[in-house]
Amino acid sequence: MIWACVLVLAGGFAAQHSRLSLSSDICILLLVASVLMLFLRRGRYPGCFVFGLGWFLLAGQEIVDARIADRYVGDSLLTDVRIVDFPRLAGNSVVMLVAPQDDLRLPPRARVSWFEPDVVPALGDVWRLELRLKRPRGLSNPGVFDREAWLFRNAIHATGYVVDGKRNRLLATDTESVVDAFRHDFVARSARVALTPDSAAVLAAIGVGARHDVSRRQWERYAVSGTSHLMAISGLHIGLAASATFFLARLLTSFLPRAANTHLVSILVALGCACAYGVVSGLGVPAQRAMLMLLVGSAALLRRRSVDVVRTVALAALIVFIVQPVATMAPGFHLSFSAVVLLIWLAGIRQRRADPANLARRFFARLQQLFRLQVFLLFGLMPLTVLFFQRVAPLALPVNLIAVPLFSVVTVPLTLLGLVLGNTAGSAGDMALLIAARSIQWMETLITWVTALPFVNHTVVEVRGFLYLAVVLPVLLALLPKGWPGRHVAALAVLALLLQPPLRPPAGCIDTHVLDVGQGLATVLQTSNQTLVFDTGASFRGGGSVAEQVIVPFLKSRGLTGIDRLIVSHADIDHSGGVAALANYAEIANLLVGETLPDSGLKAVLCEAGQRWSDDGVRFRMLHPRAASPRTGNDSSCVLLIETGRHAILLTGDIELAAEREIIAAQPWESIDAVVVPHHGSLTSSSTQFVNAVAPTIAVVSAGFNNRWGFPKAEVVARWSATGASVMNTASSGAVSLRLCRDSGLGAPRLDRHERRRFWRDAAG
Tens digits of residue pLDDT in 285-305: 788 888 888 887 788 777 777
Q: 70: buried, middle or exposed (CB in 10 Å: 19+, 13-18, 0-12)?
A: exposed
Q: Are 558 and 501 in contact (CB under 8 A)?
A: no
Predicted TM-score (pTM) of the model is 0.91
Q: What's the rounded mean pLDDT across residues 432-451?
A: 93
- pLDDT digit string, tens, across residues 124-167: 999 999 999 999 999 999 999 999 999 999 999 999 999 998 89
The pLDDT-based confidence of 112 (bands split at 50, 70, 90) is very high
- Higher-pLDDT residue of 565, 364: 565
Residue 474: pLDDT above 90? no
pLDDT reported for residue 54: 95
Helix (H) or strand (E) holding 564: strand 562-568
DSSP 503-528: P-PPTTEEEEEE---SSS-EEEEE-S
For residue 275, give the amino acid letter: C
The CATH classification of domain 70-176, taken from the options 2.40.50, 3.40.1620, 2.60.60, 2.30.110: 2.40.50
Work out the average pLDDT over 440-458. Answer: 86
Question: Is the pLDDT score of 351 beyond 70?
Answer: no
Residues 210-265: tens digit of each pLDDT = 999 998 889 989 988 889 888 888 877 888 888 888 888 888 877 766 655 777 88
Q: Which of 136-150, 291-305, 438-452, 476-490 has the lowest mean pLDDT?
A: 476-490
Q: What are the tens digits of pLDDT across the range 174-184?
A: 777 888 888 99
SS3 174: coil
pLDDT tens-digit readout, 54-87? 999 999 999 999 999 999 998 999 999 999 999 9
Sign of the C-alpha dihedral computed for residues 243, 245, 248 and 250 taken in this order? negative
Q: What is the pLDDT of residue 354?
A: 58
**pLDDT value of residue 356:** 63
At 493, is the pLDDT very low, low, confident or very high (cuts 50, 70, 90)?
A: confident
Q: Distance between CA atoms of 556 and 559, rounded to whole angstroms? A: 5
With a CB cutoff of 8 Å and minimum separation 6, the contacts of 538 are 517, 518, 519, 520, 545, 546, 573, 574, 575, 577, 578
Contact of 508 with 469, CB cutoff 8 Å: no
Q: What is the 3-state secondary structure (H, E, C) of 591-616?
A: EEECCCCCCCCCCCEECCCCCEEEEC
650, 666 Cβ separation under 8 angstroms: no
**Model confidence pLDDT, tens digit, residues 605-649:** 999 999 999 988 899 999 999 888 778 889 999 999 999 999 999
Average pLDDT over residues 664-675: 88
User: Omega before 505 cis (within 30°)?
Assistant: no
DSSP at 67: S
3-state secondary structure 75-140: CEEEEEEEECCCCEEECCEEEEEEEECCCCCCCCCEEEEEECCCCCCCCCCEEEEEEEEECCCCCC
Consecutive H or E run containing 439: helix 427-451
Average pLDDT over every residue of 192-201:
91
> Is the separation of the CB atoms in 77 and 131 below 8 Å?
yes
What average pLDDT does this structure show over 12-26? 90
Decide which of 571 and 216 is more confident.
571
In this structure, which CATH number among 3.40.50.12280, 1.10.3720.10, 3.40.50.1370, 3.60.15.10 belongs to the domain 509-755?
3.60.15.10
pLDDT band, very low/low/confident/very high, at 729 (cuts 50, 70, 90): very high
Give the start-to-end residue ranges of the domains of the chain: 2-65, 70-176, 466-498, 509-755
Question: Which of 414-428, 662-676, 722-736 is the most confident on average?
Answer: 722-736
Confidence of residue 267 (pLDDT cuts 50, 70, 90): confident
Calculate ∠ Cα 137-140-146, nearest 5°.
75
